[in-house]
Amino acid sequence: MIERYTLPEMGALWSEESRFQKWLEVELAVCEVHAEMGTIPAEALAQIKSRASFSVARINEIEKTTNHDVIAFTTNLAESIGEAARFVHYGLTSSDVVDTANALLLREACDLLLAKIDALLPVLKGRALEFKHTPQVGRTHGIHAEPTSFGLTFALWYDEMRRNRERMERARDAVAVGKISGAVGAFALLDPIVEEKVCARLDLKAAPVSTQIIQRDTYAEYLTTMAIVASSLDKFALQVRHWQRTEVREAQERFTKGQKGSSAMPHKRNPIISERICGMARLVRANSVVGLENVALWHERDISHSSAERVVLPDSSIALDYMLHKTTALIDGLVVYPERMLENLNATRGLIFSGQLLLALTQKGVARETAYEWVQRNAMKVWDDGEDFQRLLKADADITSHLSASEIDRVFAFDTYLRNVDAIFERVFTD
């Protein structure tokens, strides 16, 4: 991922230094288990642990010759260890190291993402409670429908992010799996107890069965989970973009002092953070397809997955980390215009109360189909001729024969539509 969208902690996790450090942790854990089982001498283990080190620059230099990064890594380790280096990588294949180290990397990435979700959740809850009783027009198909609560949108997003947190926890569990089973997964050169002991040392589950690699359905689960979370953030940001449209202007991103919206038009305030979140969600979703494509490999393995994973695993992790960070700031700093919401509620001159009027007529004994026809014919006059809905209803003999003027007036109240908001909030915010 480019530096522009990389936060320090997640960026450091996916650095070459961090990746090789995880490889070293796996190699050392294997050596410790071998020494414990008597496969390698204790003095050799002591020499390995005291001397083992690596240089990213040296590994990259060696790889120019070997054209194999793991061999370049073990070669560099041997340079630092000396004679005891013959016991390093004992009985292993490259993927034993790489995939087990990936489990460590992915688990830490999940922890960072979970922390970001945990930062977003209270912000969503706070804004939901702040605007619980703020009326806003609800829209279906982009058209004004009925009044709703502005806070209900944030309650909805809170509930969705709570589900996303559970998904991320499941993905963390899925990827925290190691394997030390050899070139085709049959433990030809190792006792299965080595795998169990190494994974226990690293606090990983041992794969019950593997080929040369950890099966890539686990990585696909991680990548698709991130795609789902990114899609939720995409949804949130898209809604902000709608609210900020000039014709709507119910809420907008915070516009800071000195910020510029356009190189050509000084008046512009553009929803640039929301648009950035929407754009980056496309990257994370696209990367999840790569994860799915990597599930099917030839026989016990090929390396068609390897090159793609070097890109999509860090890039998706870094992108989602950034998106969560920006979404939290976006929602926390969102500037809200309740008075504009009231203007928009009144923009259709009462049409948003047609549903309540329909029910009021049916309660008076009018057949639903008939009541619908009466209400709709007045509504269409409002759409087409700019009439006032409430005035038209009071002039309609069919309607006034069943509803008094005061009963019609009672229909035009927000309270009817918002009376159950508290009950919804009680169901959502049970923690």
Q: Which domains does the chain have, with CATH numbers?
A: 1-90 (1.10.275.10), 94-259+268-347 (1.20.200.10), 351-411 (1.10.40.30)
- Structure tokens that stand for 249 in this block: 């202007």
Q: Where are the beta strands (DSSP E) in 253-372?
A: 335-336
Q: List, for the chain, all residue ranges whose pLDDT scores fall below the cut of 70.
A: 431
Of the residues 50, 53, 262, 404, which is catalytic? 262
Which uninterrupted H or E stretch holds 252? strand 251-252
Active site residue 231: no
- What's the pLDDT score for residue 431? 67
- What's the pLDDT score for residue 333? 97
Neighbouring residues of 246: CB distance < 8 A, sequence distance ≥ 6:
none
CA 37 to chain centre: 43
Residue type, 351: L
Residues facing 205 on adjacent strands: 177
Of the residues 141, 263, 307, 406, which is catalytic? 141
Active site residue 141: yes
For residue 294, give the DSSP letter. Answer: T
Query: In terms of Cα–Cα distance, which of 311, 96, 297, 308 is closest to 204?
Result: 96
- What's the pLDDT score for residue 50? 97
Token pair 């202007």 is at which residue? 249
